[in-house]
Amino acid sequence: MVISIITAVYNGAGTVVETLESVARQDHADIEHIVVDGASTDSTLAKIRVHGNRVARLISEPDAGVYDAFNKGLRVATGDAIAFLNCGDTYVSSGVVSRMKRELSHDGAEAVFGDVSIVDGQHNARVIRRYSSKRFTPHRMTFGLMPAHPSLFLRREVYQAVGEYDTRFRIAGDFEFCLRAFARRETRYRYVAEPLVRMPRGGLSNSGWRSKFEITREMRRACEINGVATSYAKLCLRFPLKMLELF
């Protein structure tokens, strides 16, 4: 099984090497690593060329945001399954991709996902909280619960069925995509009850209360577009659950 891993990056010279090396260390032989760079103005490209010995394809051009970059990677990906590992994110071990391949080999499995460790950006070994996917069900997306996207591996057929990421969204495009994949299509999935990815704290959806308000607003819009009944009150119920992840 060929696994395509898509990495989106823009001016990520400080962290891109960690991501490249994390993919290069994977013990699964059939990996197609696609790096989509948004025309970085720092030394990102130079570092990719030096350290990207397992990069199968590099795209570097201006884009309209992270979901546009995701779509560019999807359009050239040839793998049987596809995952995303953004700049700065790393797999917790060298066996993550081969583990996910085995999970996808179970009869009927179209998607597999696990948990993500949110770590200190300066001290990668210091786990701040664990983003758990164990409470996810398609119905609970009305409460804003979704699989941890950096841990999500999907068979190509799912993308062919539900389409690309909606670039009208700035933060919640992965949530809107998962609505189509799980709440509308009912993609068959398996959950692995362990952290698979380390993700540094920060980023678009973890940058304070303003970002939390914006992502909740986008989630509400995503549900409306997809005919999923919810409310701001229901979507905000996810915050107490996230607080519990700190413990």
Q: Which tens digit of pLDDT belongs to each residue from 164-220?
A: 999 999 999 999 999 999 999 989 999 999 999 999 987 554 555 678 889 999 999
Would you tell me how many other CB atoms lie within 10 Å of the CB of residue 164? 15
Which DSSP category does 138 fall into? G
Tell me: pLDDT of 247 over 60.
no
Characterise 73 by phi-psi region: left (phi > 0), alpha (psi -120 to 50), beta (else): alpha
The type of residue at 224 is: E
Domains and CATH numbers, the chain: 1-91 (3.90.550.10), 106-149+156-247 (no CATH)
Q: What is the mean pLDDT of the chain?
A: 93
| Per-residue pLDDT at 239 | 79
DSSP 3-state assignment of 116? strand
Q: Which residues contact 30 (CB under 8 A, 6 or more apart)?
A: 1, 2, 3, 79
Does residue 25 register a pLDDT over 90?
yes
Predicted confidence (pLDDT) at residue 154 exceeds the cutoff of 70: yes
Contact 184, 138 (CB under 8 A): no
Convert the pLDDT of each residue in 28-66 to its tens digit.
999 999 999 999 999 999 999 999 999 999 999 999 999
Q: What mean pLDDT is predicted for residues 138-147?
A: 95
Q: Given pLDDT bands bounded at 50, 70 and 90, which one contains residue 121?
A: confident
pLDDT digits (tens, 9 = 90+) for 56-65: 999 999 999 9
For the segment 12-17, the average pLDDT, to the nearest whole number, is 97
Say whether pTM exceeds 0.85. yes
Q: What is the pLDDT of residues 207-221, one digit of tens each?
A: 556 788 899 999 999
